[in-house]
């Protein structure tokens, strides 16, 4: 039989076996083919789906809405416009978050600069003390 076992898929895709079964249970993944012994065999299509799901998750989409999206995809071509709408929505949320992250990074760097200053001062103080002791 062709296809990969769940263990290989888990390693290759960087998710746990538990998560793979969980996604399937939740309907995010179409029912995966089973070998004669009942073991899952993942096709390349399955792998593609998993990659896509990972992308959706990475955009911040919750499982519930991912399921809705998957159902739309399953419903056929007439849902493409809806799917574009959903994706566009999360695209915008992602762009917003990216802007916020840039902002947060800037703030963080300012904090770090401040701390570096404190650190430099702390290193300088002993010298001053030395000098004052010497004086």
Partner DNA sequence: CCTTGACTTCGAGTGCACTCGAAGTCCTAC
Partner DNA sequence: GTAGGACTTCGAGTGCACTCGAAGTCAAGG
Q: Does 75 engage in binding with a copy of itself (CB under 8 A)?
A: no
Q: SS3 of 27, please? A: coil
* Residues 58-97 as x/- pattern, contact with DNA by CB under 7 A: ----xxx---------------------------------
**DSSP string computed for 28-77:** SSPPPEE-TTS-EEB-HHHHHHHHHHHHHHHTT--HHHHHHHHHHHHH-G
Q: Does 96 engage in binding with a copy of itself (CB under 8 A)?
A: no
Handedness of CA 111, 106, 87, 12 (dihedral sign): negative
Q: Which stretch binds DNA (CB under 7 A): 14-22, 72-80, 83-91, 95-103?
A: 14-22
Shortest CB 51 distance to a copy of itself, Å: 9
User: How big is the chain, counted in residues?
Assistant: 135
Q: Does 43 engage in binding with a copy of itself (CB under 8 A)?
A: no
Q: How far apart (Å, rounded) are the C-alpha atoms in residues 27 and 22? A: 9
Q: Going by C-beta distance under 8 Å and a sequence separation of 6 or more, which residues neighbour residue 47?
A: 4, 9, 12, 13
List of residues contacting DNA (CB under 7 A): 5-7, 16-19, 21-22, 34, 36-40, 57, 62-64
Footprint of a copy of itself on this chain (CB under 8 A)?
52, 55, 58-59, 77, 80-81, 83-84, 87-88, 90-91, 94-95, 97-98, 100-102, 104-105, 107-109, 111-112, 115-116, 118-119, 122
């Amino acid at each position: 039989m062709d296809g990969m076992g769940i263990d290989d898929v888990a390693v290759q895709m960087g998710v746990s076996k538990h998560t793979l079964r969980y996604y399937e249970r939740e309907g995010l993944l179409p029912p995966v083919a089973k070998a004669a012994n009942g073991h899952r065999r993942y096709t390349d299509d399955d792998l593609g789906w998993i990659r896509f799901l990972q992308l959706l998750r990475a955009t911040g989409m919750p499982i519930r809405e991912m399921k809705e999206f998957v159902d739309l995809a399953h419903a056929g071509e007439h849902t493409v416009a809806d799917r574009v709408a959903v994706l566009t929505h999360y695209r915008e949320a992602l762009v917003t978050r990216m802007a916020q992250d840039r902002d947060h990074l800037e703030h963080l760097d300012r904090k770090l600069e401040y701390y570096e200053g404190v650190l430099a001062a702390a290193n300088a103080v002993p010298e001053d003390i030395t000098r004052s002791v010497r004086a």
